[in-house]
Amino acid sequence: MVNIENWKHITEELAQKGVTLVAVSKTKPATDIQELYNAGQRDFGENYVQELMEKQPALPQDINWHFIGHLQSNKVKYIAPFVHLIHGIDNLKLLQEVNKQAAKHGRVIDVLLQFYIAEEESKFGMDETEVTECITASSALPNVRIRGLMGMATNTDDQTQIAKEFDRLTSFFNALKGAHFSNVASFDTRSMGMSGDYNLAVAHGSTMVRIGSLLFGARNYNK
């Protein structure tokens, strides 16, 4: 069930701070998305290409679709015609493929580089060197525009630890901006924070949060 009260509260709170809310609608039906859209939400996040491809044609065309999951290179072509922002670029080959598919559609696709901040082996992401390599290489990729970094903190109750991880992303972001790469001019986005830690994320430099369960209720599948 969609929680409109939570949505209103979170939207007002984030608007004051200039933070963008991405409503994470994975596993939820199009009717739930439509309900939140009717309330005024325009940015939605999905994790699975197949699911996004089924929902996108059935819903209003002015929705900004964020792809927040792990993206395989061979699936970029399916979302390239319409995707608004790809959060999880985690290797150069993928970035090159997004550039190629964007060119086919005469688009420039906005992307975030996924920076590894967690102390868990399971999460995807790049280290400082790999992120820097992507930024350098992007000068030859005119159909992608790198807007910043995305990160996921360790799944732990230790707030100090989580705060430290968010701080790491924010300082690396600032270092990259300060390094004056010609192609970080469009760098303005730090995507971090989910239902359980978005307040902490905002306090530690997030400009874009990805919230699912607080808006749509718990998910049936642990996806």
Ligand X SMILES: *Cc1c(COP(=O)(O)O)cnc(C)c1O
| Residues forming the site for ligand X (CB under 6 A) | 24, 26, 47, 68, 152, 194-196, 210-213
Closest contact distance (angstroms) between CB of 201 and ligand X is 11
Nearer to ligand X, 125 or 131 (CB): 125
Closest contact distance (angstroms) between CB of 70 and ligand X is 9
Torsion angle in degrees (nearest 10) through CA of 201, 41, 47, 76:
-110
What string of DSSP letters covers 66-97? EE-SPPPGGGHHHHTTT-SEEEEE-SHHHHHH
Nearer to ligand X, 118 or 152 (CB): 152
Both tokens assigned to 167: 């701080």
Both tokens assigned to 142: 């005119």
Closest contact distance (angstroms) between CB of 52 and ligand X is 13
State the burial class of residue 57 (Cβ atoms within 10 Å of its Cβ: 0-12, 13-18, 19+).
exposed
Closest contact distance (angstroms) between CB of 214 and ligand X is 6
Nearer to ligand X, 67 or 141 (CB): 67
Question: What are residue 126's DSSP bridge partners?
Answer: 115
Closest CB to ligand X belongs to which residue?
212
Nearer to ligand X, 96 or 114 (CB): 114
Nearer to ligand X, 141 or 211 (CB): 211
Helix, strand, coil % over all residues of the chain, rounded to 5:
45, 20, 35
Closest contact distance (angstroms) between CB of 6 and ligand X is 11
Closest contact distance (angstroms) between CB of 5 and ligand X is 16
Residue 110: phi and psi, rounded to 5, are: -80, 140
Nearer to ligand X, 131 or 211 (CB): 211
End-to-end, the C-alpha distance of the chain in Å comes to 18
